[in-house]
Amino acid sequence: MLLHRSILYLDNLTRMNQSPKLNATYAAGESFHRSMGTTIPPGHQLGSERRCLKGAEMIPRRQSFMARNQLATHTITRLQDKCMSLEIEISNLRNEVQVLRNGAMALLTENADLRRDVQRLRAELPTPQTVQEANNLIQGLLCMYERLEAEKGGKDALLETGSASSVSSSIADPEQSLACLAYLKDEAVRTSSNDSRHIVTP
């Protein structure tokens, strides 16, 4: 039994001596025990060497884990800052879109008002028929003026002969005014039917 343990110990020791880390750890432990004047039992020596090797291997892992953790934390912080800046930009863009919508609504309202104004102006513009009727009225008024001038000349002649009473009665006669209005109406109808701007004197 003791021989079997010794063989296993020598085999494990031979395998572990192939590692530079284990050799350094074993040398450090041996020098420490020599300085203290103690010896390391074979089993305890093997377990200590294994624990030292495991601890030495865990140090780089912990350092790598801490480095990765710091990198991840830094990346998360950068992403959070980027998200905040993007949220601010999105908010600004929403405000600009709202301003543009308000401007578009104002333009649509102004366009509708302009269309109503154009329609009103078009309705107020005189049509060809209205222009023709106005020309007919002007021609009728000119005709009436000429007739009144002629009647005035006749009145002056009658006043010279002494028949002022008949002249005053003819001036106050309402039938003459009605006849003039009927004449103007007939002339307007005749001019619009003939599509002419001049009234033909009957």
What's the CA gap between 170 and 150, in Å, rounded? 14
By the 8 A CB rule, do 192 and 132 touch? yes
| Domain locations along the chain | 2-76, 127-194
> Is residue 177 within 8 Å of residue 168, measured between CB atoms?
no
Residues in the chain: 202
Residue with tokens 């350094």: 24
CA distance between the termini of the chain: 160
Q: Cα–Cα distance between 175 and 182 in angstroms, integer?
A: 10
Amino acid identity of residue 193, one-letter, is S
Nearest Cα neighbor of 146 from 188, 97, 108, 199 is 199
Residue 63 one-letter amino acid: Q
Please give the chain's pLDDT, 202 residues, in tens.
554 555 555 555 555 544 555 555 555 555 655 565 555 555 444 455 455 555 555 566 677 778 888 888 888 999 999 999 999 999 999 999 999 999 999 999 999 999 999 888 888 887 888 888 888 888 888 888 888 888 777 666 666 665 444 444 444 445 555 555 666 666 666 666 554 444 444 3
Q: How far apart are CA 139 and CA 54, in angstroms?
A: 125
Q: How large is the C-alpha radius of gyration of the chain?
A: 62
Neighbours of 188 (CB within 10 A): 19
